[in-house]
Structure 1
Amino acid sequence: MGVLYDYFRAPGPAEVRAHMDAHEASSPVPEVYEGVGLKMIDPAVCLAQLIGFVTGGPGGSGELLVWPAGTEADGDYPGPWVTVLGDEARDVLAGIPAERVPELAGRWSGIEEFGGFLDADFLGEVITDLAGLAARARERHESIYCWICL
């Protein structure tokens, strides 16, 4: 069994929390919010490495838990969770130029966490989708959220 990650844009944490509370914690993608459904691409490790490749720095997503409150230290909570990426991560993704996508996808496909399961062609599409989602979020002064489910 894998972990599911749905990245989506939303106006704010209050709207996200209200959706999660009203819909039994189901993913809001694509019925409520525009997003990208992914598997194996977590924000804290894998996405953070892509951000590092883009910036040439250490990377990082600036991820914070927004739902459910109080589960940060509960090792027995089975999920799902929703986190929000920092605006800096959103802006880095939004600024990825199309001409860098092949190079970034090639580097990203080589990270240990993907173990050769995700190739550069697929990851190029992921980068393009995430960059577009982030650009639309930035234009609308929204954030990028990640719904995570075991």
Structure 2
Amino acid sequence: MNTDYFVADRPRAVALAEYGPAGTEVPMLLMKWVEPRVLGSKLWAIIDDLPGSASSDGLPFDLGQRDAVEEVVLMNNSEGTSGIVQIADGFVQVLAALSAGRIPAVAQRWSTAEEWFGPWEPNELDDTVEGLCDLARHVNGRDHHMYMWWSI
């Protein structure tokens, strides 16, 4: 599953719904399988240093507290094989504020989430977290938001 994150205003985000942001001028981070509802929410809770839960991975997870998806902006078909979601502004703000010094520890803890398809090597997710932080810093003004385009 492609999960491409990008920054745009809402009309531009909607215009990118069919084919995604690749090949356009918008700031973006092209990824696979980094869906925001669960993995993004866990990353947000880790950045906020919430205590672990009783789940098998011991990671914080409470969508009532930290839901990284603000809203589904557009689903391209009834099967849900592609579409756009807006990333929660609160999550974008904590990503933008995350210091470079914390990235390795945050990424290491995030790498233990049970939703990943396999184990990660140490520091393997550092670039992913850093890329999300850099992208979050492109959000400027109330008309721009971070979005994620998915395609299965």
Moved segments of 4+, more than 3 Å: 115-120
Gaps of 5+ in 1: none
* 1:18 shift after superposition: 2.6
Give me the whole-angstrom Cα distance separating, in 2, the residues matched to 1:35 and 1:82. 14
1:14-93 residue pairs with structure 2 within 5 A? 14-20=11-17, 25-57=18-50, 58=62, 59-68=66-75, 74=78, 77-93=79-95
* 1:131 shift after superposition: 0.2
* 1:140 shift after superposition: 4.5
* 1:32 shift after superposition: 3.4
Residues 128/148 of structure 1: CA separation in 2 closer, same or farther (3 Å cut): same
Give the TM-score, by structure 1 length: 0.81
Deviations 1:20-78 (A, max 9, x none): 3xxxx111134231111111210000111010001134432033111138x6xx4xx24
Partner SS for 2:20: coil
Give me the whole-angstrom Cα distance separating, in 2, the residues matched to 1:90 and 1:106. 20
Give me the whole-angstrom Cα distance separating, in 2, the residues matched to 1:36 and 1:90. 14
Give the TM-score, by structure 2 length: 0.80
Partner SS for 2:30: strand
Paired residue total: 137
Residues 30/91 of structure 1: CA separation in 2 closer, same or farther (3 Å cut): farther
* 1:117 shift after superposition: 3.7
Instruction: Give the % identical residues.
Output: 23
- Whether the 8 Å CA contact 1:44–1:63 is kept in 2: the answer is no
* 1:5 shift after superposition: 0.2
Gaps of 5+ in 2: 51-61
Partner SS for 2:124: helix
